[in-house]
Amino acid sequence: MTKEFPKTPRNQVRRIPHRGRYDKATIYPIIDEALICHVGFALDGQSYLIPTLHARQEDRILLHGAKGNRMLKHLQSGGEVCIAITLVDGLVLARSVFHHSINYRSVVLFGRGESIEGKEEKLAAMEIVTEQILRGRWQEARQPNQKELDVTSIVAVTIESASAKVRTGPPIDEEEDYTLPVWAGVLPIRPAVGNPEKDLRLREGLPVSPSVMNYSRRGR
């Protein structure tokens, strides 16, 4: 397994190239920390961008959904996609409007799909996707039955090429603006989970599940 994706015209970060990264040690934790991704593909000359859940299994991205889902059908037939993943870390507030920015970690990756078939393979993939959303949930909830497996498509996108772009740190202002009486700095933005809200039809006397009490996901 190589540790870095080769830089090519397709994945090379052009603007502010020093923020570009091509190593899996940077790229994979960003993929794992994100709850959702956006999958881009073109059909008959029209571009589409679809938000969806994802999970990484080594060098593959697993996606799942209802049979008949257009994006999944495209991937099942070996179609190409571009997937974008974004984590927002803070607002970068400069002294000038022009230099306002955002601290982020993002990934753009390219690959082709293949269908995951077979009961054991599908169950294994669904476990990875479920555990990506909430660690420990697979063992707590009822697992998919044959009927549910039959109406679910699961695809794997092998990552052929990828890049990350990472911005950290304070604003970068024009030298003459540093004396302006304008507050400048970073306003950190962190994802937060609230208190669990129980389903109105919850069976009497059930405590909140350990997976919910100890909320954690891969990469976090």
Ligand X SMILES: Cc1cc2nc3c(=O)[nH]c(=O)nc-3n(C[C@H](O)[C@H](O)[C@H](O)COP(=O)(O)OP(=O)(O)OC[C@H]3O[C@@H](n4cnc5c(N)ncnc54)[C@H](O)[C@@H]3O)c2cc1C
Per CB under 6 A, the list member of 69, 130, 163, 211 interacting with ligand X is 163
Report in angstroms how near the CB of residue 101 gets to ligand X at its nearest.
Answer: 8
Query: Does the protein bind ligand X through residue 165 (CB under 6 A)?
Result: yes
Contact 4, 23 (CB under 8 A): yes
Query: Does the protein bind ligand X through residue 103 (CB under 6 A)?
Result: no
Residue recorded with tokens 């039959």: 150
Residue recorded with tokens 């037939």: 77
Give the end-to-end CA distance of the chain in Å, rounded to a whole number: 24
Query: Does the protein bind ligand X through residue 31 (CB under 6 A)?
Result: no
Per CB under 6 A, the list member of 1, 2, 3, 15 interacting with ligand X is 15
Per CB under 6 A, the list member of 108, 128, 156, 157 interacting with ligand X is 108
Concatenate the DSSP letters of all residues of 84-144 into one string.
EEEEEEEEEE-SSGGG-EEEEEEEEEEEEEEE--SHHHHHHHHHHHHHHHSTTHHHHSPPP
Helix locations, the chain, DSSP H:
24-33, 70-76, 119-133, 137-140, 146-150, 210-213
Which is nearest to 131 in space by CA: 52, 209, 217, 32? 217
Query: Does the protein bind ligand X through residue 86 (CB under 6 A)?
Result: yes
Query: Does the protein bind ligand X through residue 14 (CB under 6 A)?
Result: yes
Contact string (CB under 6 A) for ligand X, positions 32-71, x = contact: ----------------------------------------
Query: Does the protein bind ligand X through residue 12 (CB under 6 A)?
Result: yes
Q: Is 198 exposed, middle or buried (0-12, 13-18, 19+ CB in 10 A)?
A: exposed
The residue (of 12 and 143) whose beta carbon lies closer to ligand X is 12
Query: Does the protein bind ligand X through residue 102 (CB under 6 A)?
Result: yes
Q: What are phi and psi of 183, to 5 degrees?
A: -65, 135
Report in angstroms how near the CB of residue 205 gets to ligand X at its nearest.
Answer: 44
Task: Tell me how many degrees the CA angle 217-168-94 measures, rounded to the nearest 5.
Answer: 130
Report in angstroms how near the CB of residue 109 gets to ligand X at its nearest.
Answer: 8
The residue (of 161 and 209) whose beta carbon lies closer to ligand X is 161
Per CB under 6 A, the list member of 35, 50, 53, 88 interacting with ligand X is 88
- Pick the piece of the chain touching ligand X (CB under 6 A) from 5-13, 45-53, 59-67, 209-217: 5-13
Distance CA 36, CA 61 (A): 12
Residues near ligand X, by CB under 6 A: 10-15, 86, 88, 102, 104, 106-108, 163-165
